[in-house]
Amino acid sequence: MTRITHDPAARTAAPQARFTLNAPAEAAHVSNFLRSVFLGLMLLGFLFYPFDLWVLGHWLDSWQSRIPFLVALPSALLTVLFLFFPRSAPVRTLFVVFSVLNMVTGLAGATFHLVFNFEGDVSWTAQGLKDAFEGTRPVLAAAAFAHIGFTGLLCSLLPALDPAGLSAADSAHPLSDLDTQK
């Protein structure tokens, strides 16, 4: 929703600039709210995903089974830091690096689960892929890890806007300069 504010100084100055719209400030609030919502959802994912893996017994003797734990816990910390300090260059850089790492981990895990579910007989037919997706290892669970990383990348691309730092020139809407004279 765009606020229209009355500018009393515009009465004496020029009849064409009577109202200004605070659209950029409102967009900054919406942008920051959406970033906070998505980062909150990511944080829940990073906290509950390792818990889910622990409950399911994913902590096996192989070092590969520990990778999701080792990636999710620092990612949760970086998500909190990025939530509160989105303009910090080191925090943003680490957040982007771990978002990419989450995507790679999720895609590698989904591929590993898919190949494991083929049970030695790799069949790239539609029925073979369907059977592999329905196998004992959950393919889409690992792909969800990649989805969390992708969401992090999208959040890092959304600019961190400061509504209080917008100048009057930034807040003026182009339509407020229309000539209202007869």
Q: How confident is the model at residue 30 (pLDDT cuts 50, 70, 90)?
A: confident
Nearest CA to 21 among 159, 174, 147? 174
**pLDDT tens by residue, 8-24:** 655 555 555 444 445 67
SS3 string, 57-110, reads CCCCCCHHHHHHHHHHHHHHHHHHHHHHCCCCHHHHHHHHHHHHHHHHHHHHHH
Residue pair 38/151 in contact by the 8 Å Cβ criterion? yes
Question: 41 vs 37, 45, 96, 105, 118, CA distance in Å?
Answer: 6, 6, 17, 19, 33
Domain locations along the chain: 35-165
Q: Which two tokens stand for residue 63?
A: 């070092």
Percent above pLDDT 70 for the chain = 73
CB atoms within 10 A of CB 118: 15
Note the pTM of the prediction, 2 decimals: 0.69
Tokens of 86: 């989105």
CB atoms inside a 10 Å sphere around CB 113: 20
3-state secondary structure 17-55: CCEEECHHHHHHHHHHHHHHHHHHHHHHHHHHHHHHHHH
For residue 177, name the pLDDT band (cuts at 50, 70, 90): very low
pLDDT in tens, 86-139: 888 999 999 999 999 999 999 998 888 888 777 777 777 788 777 777 777 778
Sign of the torsion formed by the C-alpha atoms of 81, 153, 75 and 138: positive
* Sign, Cα dihedral of 101, 104, 108, 109: positive
Read off the tokens for 6.
């009355």
- Per-residue CA distances from 50 to 38, 125, 150, 158 (Å): 19, 33, 18, 27
The whole-number pLDDT of residue 78 equals 95
Kind and range of the H or E run holding 157: helix 139-157
Q: Is the pLDDT of residue 74 over 90?
A: yes
